[in-house]
Chain A
Amino acid sequence: MVNEKIAIEHGLKKQEYSKICDLLKRTPNITELGIFSAMWNEHCSYKSSKIHLKNLPTKNNKVIQGPGENAGIIDIEDNDAIVFKIESHNHPSFIEPYQGAATGVGGIMRDVFTMGARPIANLNSIHFGSPEHKKTRNLLRGVVRGIGGYGNCMGIPTIAGQTNFDESYNGNILVNAMTLGLVKKNKIFYSKAAGLNKPVIYVGSKTGRDGIHGASMASAVFDEKIEEKKPTVQVGDPFTEKLLLEACLELMSGDSIIAIQDMGAAGLTSSSIEMASKGKLGIELDLNKVPCRETKMTPYEIMLSESQERMLIVLENGKEELAKKIFDKWNLDFAIIGKTTDSKKIELFFDKKKVADIPIDTLVENSPIYDRKWKKAKLPKKNKIKKEKFKNLKIVNVLNKILANPNVCSKKWIWQQYDHTVMGDTIQKPGGDAGVVRIHGTSKAVAASVDSSAVYCWAHPLSGGKQIVCESWRNLIAVGAKPIAITNCLNFGSPENDENMGEFVECVQGLGEASAYLDFPVVSGNVSFYNQTKDIGIKPTPTIGGVGLIKNYKNMVTMDLKQNENILLVIGKTEGHLEQSLFSRDILSEKNGPPPEINLFNEKNNGETVLKLIDKNFIKAAHDVSLGGIITALSKMCIKGKKGALLNKPKYLIDKFEYLFGEDQGRYIVEIEKTNYDNVIEILEKNSVHYDELGIVNDNDLIIDEKSKVSIDDLNKSHNIWLNNFMSK
């Protein structure tokens, strides 16, 4: 018998349970309670985030589909569209890193091909605890293998990513996976069911007992009993997913499908309910017909299993045979398990008995929505760092140390384990500002980047939220892409804590302001709360996945320096903001102060002007200036191009360390040819863009001033050594 105690064990609150009883006008049975708990948990219902997310800009003239579907869609012209989304798989990846990360990648790819798109690129953003923490190495190894294991087998290139280390992730790592898919605009599939008595089809893998309560597990904080949660982690099979992809795309080439939805979080429960809810219909399922991997599975288990690689389809009448043939060809299960009805209820049958009978609107529209208490964060006081602290430091030593910093160093050890060239269209590999893949057989290419700046968000959520959208925008521009839209993965601590909730609210606000100003709307995303162990939450970590279009891929820009004597310019003004910079935090151990200020006007103006220069083919190399400031950005350009640089003395009075390591926003380093200098300067001045002449491209050495000279080989060593050493221990 269901009672309040059992409801609470399902993660429901007392008042939520009484609401269920009120809505049903009776006590739910165990299957029904399971369904409510799956639909009403934070992960599926967005109950704490909904009222804030609705303020985000979600439209521009390129957006075909915004949030609310399996993924967002943007128009890239000529009847082509890009489907993309980022999603978290944080909790399972900490419990079981290989399977957690693998199924995260599998899940996001399914979201994309559910809409009719063939995946063309994967990206990921992964955050780990401090390198000294005993779990970090194994978690990193497991996650990287899991991401590679799934994506490589699917044959989808992993083209870019981001890896960070910070002690706030010691007990809660983050694994955010993003996929881009390509679809014809007139062949997009949605999850809205339509029509009565249409067959409901189950395809893919069989249902097992894995992943039961996965979504609920991801809606709670971790405690010492975390090991017991292992069975809630799903087990992935990329081979089956590859077959499912091909079979679905084959079926989609015809006109048999009315609606299609992958079984992700909360499995059969959420997929069937979402399709019915969107179509304002009812749905009837015979659970005896669901293909099961294990014997004697109960309706409760069948409905809550999160077994992977499964899809639910509402088919046109009379297309059953044709569809079955395709799934038989690919050796996948195919079962007609129910039909659409006009009851506006979900009705489940098992052994000829009705085992659940719930009005759909009670699960969806009437799900709880909370306006949680939140605390506004103050802008930290300026903490002018005293020059005495660094006047004795040697620039070259600091630079080598920064290049070897875990958050700056080369991540080649990681991305070399991901197939990044399969499909034969990857024209910018991992390690650049953004990954770029061509649209097969055309002159177009799409660029994509994932970014987060948890330190800035932690210091001041509003500024941090803005910054991260700007950084994504810059990364796309730096490769010559016109930014179009973003997807976001909002990783935070517990929403029941007013400080964490405040971080969420203000990061979202900042993110919204920047994306509105830059006309860079949010088209899809996901919220991951409860990244928290007992009372300690992670630093607020909104991750942004940005997508942009390069109309002619031959105009793509890379960051490697190209030619001696070419001129290097810094676009955007350098003020020398050191607070919250890598230099302050890691070299001076100074952790206070505000993050760099965001000036959206300059950000937009600088970016658009750089794009103009790229369109005129004036830019030979470009790189955005972020973590570690100008000199770190330039060093990476040197390393990639195997070239040196000779720096000018800065024209205005500013301390050398502030100039070289300051993290002011809205800046790029660009390489131009001498013959184009006048033209470039004219365009910059006409657009009122601030620029500085940084220096010229040189052979072999980076010469910063008369006392600071370092060979590119040495910089390369510093940049490449840390991660390899760390992982070979």
Chain B
Amino acid sequence: MNSSVIIFPGSNCDRDMDVALKKFGFKNKMVWHEDTKLPKSDLVVLPGGFSYGDYLRCGSMASKSKIIKSVIDFAKSGGLLMGICNGFQILTETELLPGVLLRNKFSEFICKNVFVKINNNENKYFKKITKQTLKLHIAHNEGNYFCTKNQMKEIEDNNQIALFYCNKKGEVKDEYNPNGSSKNIAGIFNKEKNILGMMPHPERMIDEYLSGEDGSLFFENLLNNLK
């Protein structure tokens, strides 16, 4: 399977994502933000970091970058597009995903392990995954998901919520919400479920020495679903 990771100036999880994708068998290519064409890809990833310094708004400048047009075309034609952390912010800024990511509730950067519950398995990302609650890692300042009432209704009607913050047992409650996100949302899909944006970093959980392997589970499963 071929994957592409877009590098924006200020991206800083691009290498980690490259390492993870290759570890699980993707043939990955790094794509510079000033390129205009994507290489042939089965998966495109917008990595975490601080694209363009997060100036103006997180993800906003990246959503106007040169490469983004072909990323949008790729996704609109059904290609799998995943945005992690800053990548998720870029996806909402391009309006490929609804809503926005606001500053964390206590306006502090949070770096810690969290549990997330998978809400929808009818998609390439989570189909056949062997666990419904994953231990992943978050590291962000703006992960507080917010959208209008109408948008939320649409998201729910279309079953677009991908992940909820929860506890070890998979219980979704306020007290397990690290950043004030509406309804504990940690990740969402577009209507067609080929675009996934999420705050947690699966690429940081890919070996037992890095506090967990649920990221491995995610990537292995994704690769199998693409085969």
Q: Are A422 and B10 in contact (CB under 8 A)?
A: no
A418 within 8 A of B: yes
CB distance from A426 to the nearest CB of B (A): 7
Q: Are B52 and A239 in contact (CB under 8 A)?
A: yes
* Residues in B whose Cβ lies below 8 Å from that of A155: 12-13, 49-50
User: Which of B71-79, B125-133, B202-210 lies at the interface with chain A?
Assistant: B202-210
Mark contacts of A419-434 with chain B using CB atoms, 8 A cut-off: 1 yes-contact digit, 0 otherwise.
1111111110100000
Query: If the complex has contacts A155-B49, A239-B50, A553-B209, are A421 and B137 also in contact, measured as CB distance less than 8 A?
Result: yes
Minimum CB distance partner of A425 in chain B: B210
Q: Are A427 and B109 in contact (CB under 8 A)?
A: no
CA distance A154 to B11 in the complex (A): 9
* Residues in B whose Cβ lies below 8 Å from that of A421: 111, 137, 139, 201, 204, 210-211
Q: Are A419 and B210 in contact (CB under 8 A)?
A: no
* Residues in A whose Cβ lies below 8 Å from that of B55: 239
Q: Are A424 and B50 in contact (CB under 8 A)?
A: no
Q: Are A419 and B139 in contact (CB under 8 A)?
A: yes
Q: Which residues of A contact B (CB under 8 A)?
A: 145, 148-149, 152-155, 237-240, 242-243, 330-331, 415-427, 429, 438, 553-554
Q: Are A152 and B139 in contact (CB under 8 A)?
A: yes
CB distance from A156 to the nearest CB of B (A): 8
Q: Which residues of B contact A (CB under 8 A)?
A: 9-10, 12-13, 15-16, 19-20, 48-50, 52-55, 108-112, 137, 139, 141, 201, 203-204, 206, 209-211
Q: Are A424 and B19 in contact (CB under 8 A)?
A: yes
CB distance from B67 to the nearest CB of A (A): 15
* Residues in B whose Cβ lies below 8 Å from that of A423: 15-16
CA distance A689 to B48 in the complex (A): 49
CB distance from B187 to the nearest CB of A (A): 18
CA distance A419 to B49 in the complex (A): 11
Minimum CB distance partner of B11 in chain A: A155
* Residues in B whose Cβ lies below 8 Å from that of A331: 9
CB distance from B140 to the nearest CB of A (A): 9
Q: Which 9 A-B pairs have the closest CB atoms?
A: A155-B12, A239-B53, A424-B16, A419-B139, A153-B50, A417-B109, A427-B209, A419-B111, A421-B204
* Residues in A whose Cβ lies below 8 Å from that of B108: 145, 416-417
Minimum CB distance partner of A429 in chain B: B211
Q: Are A416 and B203 in contact (CB under 8 A)?
A: no
Query: If the complex has contacts A148-B109, A419-B139, A420-B111, are A427 and B12 also in contact, measured as CB distance less than 8 A?
Result: no
Of the listed residues A154, A155, A415, A438, the one surrounded by the most CB atoms of chain B closer than 10 A to its CB is A155
Given A155-B50, A422-B139, 14 other A-B residues pairs in contact with their CB atoms under 8 A: A152-B50, A237-B53, A239-B9, A242-B9, A416-B112, A418-B109, A421-B137, A421-B211, A422-B13, A422-B16, A422-B204, A424-B210, A426-B210, A427-B210
* Residues in A whose Cβ lies below 8 Å from that of B111: 152, 415-421
CA distance A426 to B212 in the complex (A): 12
* Residues in A whose Cβ lies below 8 Å from that of B206: 424
5 contacts across the A-B interface (CB closer than 8 A): A153-B12, A239-B9, A243-B10, A419-B109, A425-B210
* Residues in B whose Cβ lies below 8 Å from that of A424: 16, 19-20, 203-204, 206, 210
CB distance from B26 to the nearest CB of A (A): 16
Minimum CB distance partner of A420 in chain B: B111
Of the listed residues A239, A421, A426, the one surrounded by the most CB atoms of chain B closer than 10 A to its CB is A421
* Residues in B whose Cβ lies below 8 Å from that of A240: 53
* Residues in B whose Cβ lies below 8 Å from that of A153: 10, 12, 50, 53-54
Q: Which among B19, B20, B110 is the interface contact of A417 at CB below 8 angstroms? A: B110
* Residues in B whose Cβ lies below 8 Å from that of A418: 109, 111
CA distance A238 to B9 in the complex (A): 12
Minimum CB distance partner of A424 in chain B: B16
Q: Are B209 and A242 in contact (CB under 8 A)?
A: no
Minimum CB distance partner of B53 in chain A: A239
* Residues in B whose Cβ lies below 8 Å from that of A145: 108-109
Q: Are A242 and B109 in contact (CB under 8 A)?
A: no
Q: Which among A152, A330, A419 is the interface contact of B9 at CB below 8 angstroms? A: A330
* Residues in A whose Cβ lies below 8 Å from that of B50: 152-153, 155, 238-239, 242
CA distance A363 to B204 in the complex (A): 49
Minimum CB distance partner of B15 in chain A: A423
CA distance A498 to B86 in the complex (A): 54
Q: Which among B9, B112, B137, B141 is the interface contact of A243 at CB below 8 angstroms? A: B9
Minimum CB distance partner of B16 in chain A: A424
CA distance A152 to B48 in the complex (A): 11
CB distance from B175 to the nearest CB of A (A): 15
CA distance A192 to B19 in the complex (A): 36
CB distance from A594 to the nearest CB of B (A): 41
CA distance A425 to B203 in the complex (A): 11
Q: Which among B12, B16, B19, B204 is the interface contact of A154 at CB below 8 angstroms? A: B12
* Residues in A whose Cβ lies below 8 Å from that of B141: 152
CA distance A429 to B48 in the complex (A): 20
CA distance A243 to B33 in the complex (A): 14
* Residues in A whose Cβ lies below 8 Å from that of B12: 153-155, 242, 422
Minimum CB distance partner of B12 in chain A: A155
Minimum CB distance partner of A412 in chain B: B112
CA distance A416 to B109 in the complex (A): 7
* Residues in A whose Cβ lies below 8 Å from that of B53: 153, 237-240, 242
CA distance A424 to B17 in the complex (A): 9
CA distance A323 to B75 in the complex (A): 37
CA distance A421 to B109 in the complex (A): 13
CA distance A145 to B20 in the complex (A): 30
* Residues in A whose Cβ lies below 8 Å from that of B19: 424
CA distance A415 to B16 in the complex (A): 21
CB distance from A158 to the nearest CB of B (A): 9
CB distance from B85 to the nearest CB of A (A): 10
CA distance A417 to B179 in the complex (A): 13
CA distance A368 to B54 in the complex (A): 46
* Residues in A whose Cβ lies below 8 Å from that of B137: 421
CA distance A513 to B19 in the complex (A): 44
* Residues in B whose Cβ lies below 8 Å from that of A417: 108-111
CA distance A416 to B141 in the complex (A): 11
CA distance A2 to B137 in the complex (A): 59
* Residues in B whose Cβ lies below 8 Å from that of A416: 108, 110-112
CA distance A416 to B9 in the complex (A): 25
* Residues in B whose Cβ lies below 8 Å from that of A420: 111
CA distance A665 to B66 in the complex (A): 60
* Residues in A whose Cβ lies below 8 Å from that of B201: 421
CA distance A154 to B108 in the complex (A): 17
CB distance from A582 to the nearest CB of B (A): 28
CB distance from A172 to the nearest CB of B (A): 26
Of the listed residues B16, B48, B204, B209, the one surrounded by the most CB atoms of chain A closer than 10 A to its CB is B209
* Residues in B whose Cβ lies below 8 Å from that of A238: 50, 53
